[in-house]
Amino acid sequence: MLRHPTLDQLHALGLPGMAKAFAEIAASGEADALGHHEWLGLLLDREVASRQDKRLAARLRVAKLRQQACVEDIDYRSPRGLDRALLQKLVEGKWIDDHDNLALIGPTGVGKSWLASALGHKACRDNRSVLYQRVPRLFEELTLARGDGRHPRILRNLGRADLLILDDWGLEPLDAVARHDLLEILEERYGRRSTVITSQLPVDRWHEVIGDPTYADAILDRLVHNAHRIELAGESLRRTKERQTRKA
């Protein structure tokens, strides 16, 4: 008699997780074996899990990570110079609390973007806001945004994210507008938020990519000096997988 009114009330209160659990438990015949406290505990657990799933889905939708990756799937066996101890510390996330940065450096195909996406996914799971951007596309978007009024809003969003992933840094030199935008972004984030940057270029060549010496010093000071570094080496994982597929 009470089941339908109770379900209606749970939905009306915005508790869909509890409503779904209530219906499933009642239909399974388990209800008669549960006490009131057990009933309530199960319903609350399901509501909490439902809200966490929705929050994670929303954060991932905003983050727009390049790849579907999670830290549990990191392959430490591939000979690419992956520092397991450092990476496990990064997975814990304290570096984000401390507003440190991270530089993932190495040749194409060694998994820089994948690792960045995996750490971004973990940050989303830890209820942190994340944004992923490919650097060439970001500067194109910012240039277009200057003409339609979106530029200040985009800069604010980039500055506010708990973790900003800047992928494919250094593919082409920066022009004056891009240098200015990058400095504005990093100035807003410095000491307040964390940034991941991936690059095929070693750090000692970043200065020439930025171009202007004054801007380069300012940008690298805000980006590199408090950054953890993971320098990867070895053969492209994509080529390795392609060979394994052909052999199979």
Q: What digits encode the pLDDT tens for the residues 179-199?
A: 999 999 999 999 999 999 999
Q: Is 12 exposed, middle or buried (0-12, 13-18, 19+ CB in 10 A)?
A: exposed
Say if CB 10 and CB 18 are below 8 A apart. yes
E strands along 178-247, which residues?
194-199, 227-231
Give 64-243's CATH code, choosing from 3.40.50.300, 2.60.40.10, 3.40.190.10, 3.40.50.1100: 3.40.50.300
Count how many Cα atoms sit within 13 Å of the Cα of residue 236 in the half-sphere of its side chain.
8
Task: Name the residue ranges covered by the structural domains of the chain.
Answer: 3-61, 64-243
Highest mean pLDDT among 22-26, 65-69, 162-166, 209-213: 162-166
- The pLDDT assigned to 103 comes to 95
Q: Which two tokens stand for residue 18?
A: 């509890």
* 8 A C-beta contact, residue 237 and residue 78: yes
What's the chain's length in residues?
Answer: 248
- The DSSP letter of residue 216 is H
Q: Give the model confidence (pLDDT) of 64-94 as tens digits.
A: 999 999 999 988 877 677 888 899 999 999 9
Q: Which amino acid is it at 43? A: L
